[in-house]
Amino acid sequence: MSHEAKPIENEHFRDTISTIDDKSGDRAWVYAKKPNGKIHNIRSIFSIGLMALMFSGPFIKLNGHQMLLLNILDRKFIILGIPFWPQDLPLFALLMITFVVFIIVFTVLFGRMWCGWACPQTVFMEMLFRKIEYLIEGDYRQQMKLDESPISAEKIFKKSIKHIVFFLLSVFIANIFLAYLIGSDEVLKLVTDGPKDHMGQFISLVIFSTVFYAVFSKFREIVCIVICPYGRLQGLMLDKNSIVVAYDYIRGEPRGHIRKNTDQNHLGDCIDCKRCVHVCPTGIDIRNGTQLECVNCTACIDECDDVMKKIDKPTGLVRYASQDEIVNKLKRRVTVRSAAYVVILCLLVTALSYFLITRKDVDATVLRTPGMLFQNQNEGRISNMYNYEVVNKTFTTQKIMVKVVQPEKAELKMVDRELNGMNLNEDALVKGSFFIILPEGEIKSNNTEVTIQILSNGKLMEEIRTNFVGPVFKK
Ligand code: SF4
Ligand code: SF4
């Protein structure tokens, strides 16, 4: 049955937030009905896989090193086994930009699929904490009843059990989170040695555990609606062609309850049972259109499909669809905007791949020592002092060599330690100074260009051109 789009009569939802009681201004607690259905089952299996990956992530090692480490304090990052140093900041920034653009492209094309399927907040909340809550307190009506009931032994028991389990799980997640930040070996030391020798890490663990416990037991959907910047950017990214969880209002409206012995031919397919509203973990009514609060969890799709089957109507009144598909029956098409995003993403991925492939094992900087001009050495020779910094960006020992290739008669003299032939350990950084000494005859101007080569394991890593300052000698 096809119907013209009709304006929705009650537009009160435009002035209210589902999680705030518009009379008292207090938080309106969302009691979400236990979700069920085909998509929910697929999501559950997918979430189990994701959680297994998240929990085992810090313990998966490549060549003896954690596969993913984001140690912000020590500025040490390992992504898929590739170490990144502070010197790799431009590359790391490019990686982050590429990731953000990927999320934008994905959102433009497929809406908030990330939120519903892969975001750790949704995965933990809906697939772990909420399921435990259903197990202990029952479905949403029983939860409501329990909260409204006076204090009793049963209430104290259920609430205590729930919060103890929530807190223990939060501590466990905090340990995993910390392992991504400081490394799983450090966290294991904290667990085996106790907090006395690792007070800083223990305090971090307490803070993370408390935050996770507060998020999953109290804040819940507030994190998605108010705190998460990605959620708030939806309005900018979505367009009429984006696939989102949507209510087919052309087919569904005007809505109306089923009444026996009444002519209901003027009505759409929505029987206004509100099951899609009761199941929503963010408390919204998907029939009001695409909303910032919708995390695309698909619970309303399953719920409505079940209703449609029961009343013998086709499923898909609520489904993954674009606005264009619902209103104009248009198949998915490539818009200029989505094409432009994809082109930008391809360019970024190409640039990132190029920089990653050509990334050197050893990074070196050589700069003339600030505040120093030149020194007169014996036998008509002039020297300049330089500061160097060499960092081994690999997990293997690198043998370092340094030489001046231009001018040919230049000499190199180390100040503190011998850099030539030095075995630089994995992850190590060495700093120091050396002199470049030139015979007066080689100095043609007061700014002579010198070329320094840094080699690692016999392979040229850097060719650095710098200046040599000296007096000009007239012949
Ligand atoms: S579950 Fe389906 S039929 Fe029931 S109110 Fe929601 S959209 Fe309408
Ligand atoms: S509207 Fe549907 S998809 Fe969106 S959050 Fe609610 S239940 Fe999930």
pLDDT tens digits along 317-361: 999 999 989 998 877 667 788 889 899 999 999 999 999 888 888
Question: Which ligand sits nearest to residue 292's alpha carbon?
Answer: 2
Ligand 2 in reach of 297 Cβ (< 6 A): yes
- Mean per-residue pLDDT of the chain: 90
Check pLDDT > 60 for residue 5.
no
Do 270 and 188 share a domain, yes or no? yes
Arithmetic mean of pLDDT, 23-35: 92
pLDDT tens digits, 192-219: 998 888 899 999 999 999 999 999 999 9
Q: Which has more confidence, 443 or 165? A: 165
Atom in ligand 2 nearest the alpha carbon of residue 285: 1
Sign (positive or negative) of CA dihedral 407, 408, 409, 412 = positive
Do 326 and 212 share a domain, yes or no? yes
Atom in ligand 1 nearest the alpha carbon of residue 318: 7
Q: Name the phi and psi angles at 382, rounded to 5.
A: -120, 140
List the residue whose alpha carbon is closest to atom 6 of ligand 1: 276
Ligand 2 in reach of 299 Cβ (< 6 A): yes
List the residue whose alpha carbon is closest to atom 4 of ligand 1: 273
The owner of tokens 């007070």 is 199
Residue 7, both tokens: 């304006």
pLDDT tens digits, 417-436: 888 889 998 878 899 999 99
* pLDDT at site 332: 67
Banded pLDDT at 2 (limits 50, 70, 90): very low
Do 300 and 153 share a domain, yes or no? yes
Q: Which domain range does residue 129 map to? A: 1-359
Determine the Cα–Cα distance for residues 45 and 40; give it in Å rounded to an integer.
Answer: 9
Question: Which ligand sits nearest to residue 275's alpha carbon?
Answer: 1
* Count of beta carbons in the 10 Å neighbourhood of residue 211: 14
DSSP string, 305-360: HHHHHHTT--S-SEEEE-HHHHHH-PPP---HHHHHHHHHHHHHHHHHHHHHHT--
Determine the Cα–Cα distance for residues 442 and 423; give it in Å rounded to an integer.
Answer: 33
Residue 226: DSSP 8-state: I
The owner of tokens 């050197």 is 360
Do 423 and 292 share a domain, yes or no? no
Domain boundary among 359, 377, 395: 359
Q: Give domain status of residue 93, yes or no.
A: yes
For ligand 1, the distance from its centroid to the CA atom of residue 312, given in whole angstroms, is 13
Do 375 and 348 share a domain, yes or no? no
Q: Give domain status of residue 82, yes or no.
A: yes
pLDDT tens digits, 49-77: 999 999 999 999 887 889 899 988 887 88
Residue type, 388: Y
Question: Which ligand sits nearest to residue 40's alpha carbon?
Answer: 2
List the residue whose alpha carbon is closest to atom 3 of ligand 2: 296
Q: Give domain status of residue 474, yes or no.
A: no
Residue type, 123: V
Q: Which of 10, 269, 271 to mutate to test the pocket of ligand 1 (most atoms within 8 A of CB)?
A: 271
Q: Which of 277, 301, 304, 310 to mutate to test the pocket of ligand 1 (most atoms within 8 A of CB)?
A: 304
Sign (positive or negative) of CA dihedral 94, 97, 99, 105 = negative
Question: Which ligand sits nearest to residue 311's alpha carbon?
Answer: 1
Q: Give domain status of residue 116, yes or no.
A: yes
Q: Please, which residues have CB within 8 angstroms of residue 50's CB and are 6 or more apart in sequence?
A: 118, 123
List the residue whose alpha carbon is closest to atom 5 of ligand 2: 294
Check pLDDT > 80 for residue 382.
yes
Residue 474, both tokens: 């007239």
Q: Which of 90-104, 293-307, 331-345 has the highest mean pLDDT?
A: 293-307
pLDDT tens digits, 139-194: 999 999 999 999 999 999 999 999 999 999 999 999 999 999 999 999 999 999 98
Do 190 and 276 share a domain, yes or no? yes
Q: What is the domain-level CATH number for residue 378?
A: 2.60.40.10
Banded pLDDT at 238 (limits 50, 70, 90): confident
Q: Which of 295, 298, 318 to mutate to test the pocket of ligand 2 (most atoms within 8 A of CB)?
A: 295
Arithmetic mean of pLDDT, 372-383: 88
* pLDDT at site 86: 79
Do 196 and 276 share a domain, yes or no? yes
* pLDDT at site 229: 87
Q: Which of 36, 221, 280 to mutate to test the pocket of ligand 2 (most atoms within 8 A of CB)?
A: 280
Do 182 and 246 share a domain, yes or no? yes
Domain boundary among 315, 333, 359: 359
Determine the Cα–Cα distance for residues 97 and 348; give it in Å rounded to an integer.
Answer: 8
For ligand 1, the distance from its centroid to the CA atom of residue 148, given in whole angstroms, is 27
For ligand 2, the distance from its centroid to the CA atom of residue 227, given in whole angstroms, is 18
> What is the tally of structural domains in the chain?
2
* pLDDT at site 17: 79
For ligand 2, the distance from its centroid to the CA atom of residue 302, given in whole angstroms, is 10
Determine the Cα–Cα distance for residues 287 and 304; give it in Å rounded to an integer.
Answer: 11
Determine the Cα–Cα distance for residues 345 and 100; give it in Å rounded to an integer.
Answer: 10
Residue type, 56: S
Q: Which residues pair with 431 in a beta bridge?
A: 389
Collapse the DSSP code of 177 into the 3-class scheme (helix H, G, I; strand E, B; otherwise coil) and give the result.
helix
Task: Give the rounded percent of residues in the chain with a pLDDT score beyond 90.
Answer: 58
Q: Which has more confidence, 137 or 448? A: 137
List the residue whose alpha carbon is closest to atom 2 of ligand 1: 304
Residue 110: DSSP 8-state: H
Report H helices in 111-152: 113, 120-124, 130-137, 140-148
Check pLDDT > 90 for residue 235.
no
Check pLDDT > 70 for residue 1.
no
Do 69 and 199 share a domain, yes or no? yes
List the residue whose alpha carbon is closest to atom 4 of ligand 2: 294
Q: Give domain status of residue 156, yes or no.
A: yes
* 68, 84 Cβ separation under 8 angstroms: no
* pLDDT at site 80: 84
List the residue whose alpha carbon is closest to atom 1 of ligand 1: 304
* Count of beta carbons in the 10 Å neighbourhood of residue 29: 13
Edge-to-edge strands, sheet with 447-456: 422-424, 398-406, 447-456, 459-469
Q: Give domain status of residue 475, yes or no.
A: no
* pLDDT at site 474: 59
List the residue whose alpha carbon is closest to atom 8 of ligand 1: 270
Determine the Cα–Cα distance for residues 439 and 215; give it in Å rounded to an integer.
Answer: 70
Cα dihedral 36→39→43→44 (10° resolution) = 30
Reported for 252-256, long-range contacts at CB under 8 A and 24+ positions apart, including other chains, are 252/287, 252/317, 253/3, 253/5, 253/6, 253/8, 254/3, 254/6, 255/287
Question: Which ligand sits nearest to residue 256's alpha carbon?
Answer: 1
Q: Give domain status of residue 11, yes or no.
A: yes
Do 246 and 382 share a domain, yes or no? no
Q: Which has more confidence, 318 or 113? A: 318
Do 1 and 110 share a domain, yes or no? yes
Strands (E), 188-250: 244-247
The owner of tokens 């990927």 is 102
Atom in ligand 1 nearest the alpha carbon of residue 287: 7
* 163, 210 Cβ separation under 8 angstroms: no
Domain boundary among 340, 359, 378: 359
Ligand 1 proximal residues by C-beta, below 6 Å: 247, 252, 270-276, 287, 303-304, 307, 317-318
Determine the Cα–Cα distance for residues 111 and 419; give it in Å rounded to an integer.
Answer: 54
Q: Which of 286, 303, 304, 306 to mutate to test the pocket of ligand 2 (most atoms within 8 A of CB)?
A: 286
Task: Give the rounded percent of residues in the chain with a pLDDT score beyond 70.
Answer: 97
Q: Give domain status of residue 352, yes or no.
A: yes
Ligand 2 in reach of 280 Cβ (< 6 A): yes
Ligand 2 in reach of 290 Cβ (< 6 A): no
Cα dihedral 83→85→91→92 (10° resolution) = 80
Do 345 and 367 share a domain, yes or no? no
Banded pLDDT at 263 (limits 50, 70, 90): confident
Check pLDDT > 60 for residue 297.
yes
Determine the Cα–Cα distance for residues 472 and 421; give it in Å rounded to an integer.
Answer: 34
Check pLDDT > 90 for residue 260.
no
Ligand 2 in reach of 294 Cβ (< 6 A): yes
